Amino acid sequence: MTKKVLYEGKAKQLFETEKPSELIQFFKDDATAFNKKKHEIIDSKGVLNNLISEFIFTYLGNNNIPNHFIERLSPREQLIKKVEIIPIEVVVRNIAAGTFTNRFGIEEGKNLPKTLIEFNLKDDENDDPLVSEEHMKVFGWAKENDIETMKKYAFEINNLLSKLFKKINIILVDFKIEFGRYYSNNHYDIILADEISPDSCRLWDMSSNKKLDKDRFRRNLGGLIEAYKEVATRLKIDLSDI
């Protein structure tokens, strides 16, 4: 039986399963940046992101961060809980990089005095504009309680991931996460969804500052797969199948 595609994103597809409360998340090899202005297929990126995201979601789940991951089904597929995605990209920044440096004219690599959370609307046509908590409430993208829950989890995830990466000599510069509403019995819980991988984080080697993330693609630095494999190997993820 061919499975029905429910959603096609830039780097992933979501398929229906027999259970209404579960989906299959399929990781593609597509790499995009600057809202698809730059697009390439990078062989085996999807497999690496599937494995790295599984590792991170399992670690977060074991540390009381509820999330959508259920189990890996194949090298590119994972079974996940079906959620209603909140259309907001939650970005957590420890060090100035990327669009933040351009926006404020700050040098890349500068430590921020405090961890910063930003929100971007998921809206490719308008280049994912930066939005405030007030925008989220006024437009109805998220309620006050949802926003507080997302912020609480975002800080906790930052602490947990910063510690995890520090142990393997990697600095967590910034990352993007997405949340969803998981419904049961007319009630919902906010849970972490989507993926966390070198596509959605900035990861710098602590000794050399070498970039081990999607900036290798955004900035034409080459060696993306080698960098993702380096992250996976340091996390002790089994790569024998790829």
Q: How far apart are CA 53 and CA 72, in angstroms?
A: 10
Q: Closest separation between CB of residue 198 and ligand ASP, Å?
A: 11
The two structure tokens encoding residue 150:
């997302």
Q: Are 166 and 207 in contact (CB under 8 A)?
A: no
Residue 4's φ and ψ, nearest 5 degrees, are: -85, 130
5 contacts 25 by C-beta, under 8 angstroms: no
167 binds, among ligand TMP, ligand ASP, none (CB under 5 to 8 A by kind): none
Per rule CB under 6 A, count of chain residues that contact ligand TMP: 13
Contact, 211 vs 28, CB < 8 A? no
Residue with Cβ nearer ligand ASP (81 or 96): 96
* Residue 142 · residue 150 · CB < 8 Å: yes
Which of 68, 81, 176, 211 is in the footprint of ligand TMP by CB under 6 A? 176
In the complex with ligand ASP, the residue whose CB is nearer, 9 or 66, is 9
Q: Which does 201 bind (CB under 5 to 8 A by kind): ligand TMP, ligand ASP, none?
A: ligand TMP
Q: Is the dihedral of CA 215, 44, 71, 123 positive or negative?
A: positive
Distance CA 67, CA 93 (A): 21
Binding mask 118-147 for ligand TMP (x = CB under 6 A): ----------x-------------------
Asked if 179 touches ligand TMP (CB under 6 A), the answer is no
Residue 202 contact, options ligand ASP, ligand TMP, none, Cβ 5-8 Å cut-off depending on partner type: ligand TMP
Interface of this chain with ligand TMP, residues 89 to 118, rule: CB under 6 A:
89, 91, 97-100
Q: CA nearest 56: which of 151, 139, 168?
A: 168
To the nearest whole angstrom, how small is the minimum distance from the Cβ of residue 17 to ligand TMP? 26
| 45/214 with CB nearer ligand ASP | 214
Beta strands in the chain (DSSP E): 5-8, 12-16, 22-27, 30-33, 38-41, 69-74, 77-81, 84-85, 88-95, 111-121, 130-131, 170-184, 187-193, 201-205
Q: Which stretch binds ligand TMP (CB under 6 A): 53-61, 162-170, 197-205, 223-231?
A: 197-205
Q: Could you say whether residue 200 binds ligand TMP (CB under 6 A)? A: yes
Cα 137 from Cα 239, distance rounded (Å):
43
Under the binding rule (CB under 6 A), the answer on residue 81 touching ligand TMP is: no
Judged by CB under 6 A, the stretch of 60-68, 70-78, 140-148, 198-206 that binds ligand TMP is: 198-206
Kindly list the residues in this chain that would bind ligand TMP in the complex (CB under 6 A).
Answer: 89, 91, 97-100, 128, 174-176, 200-202
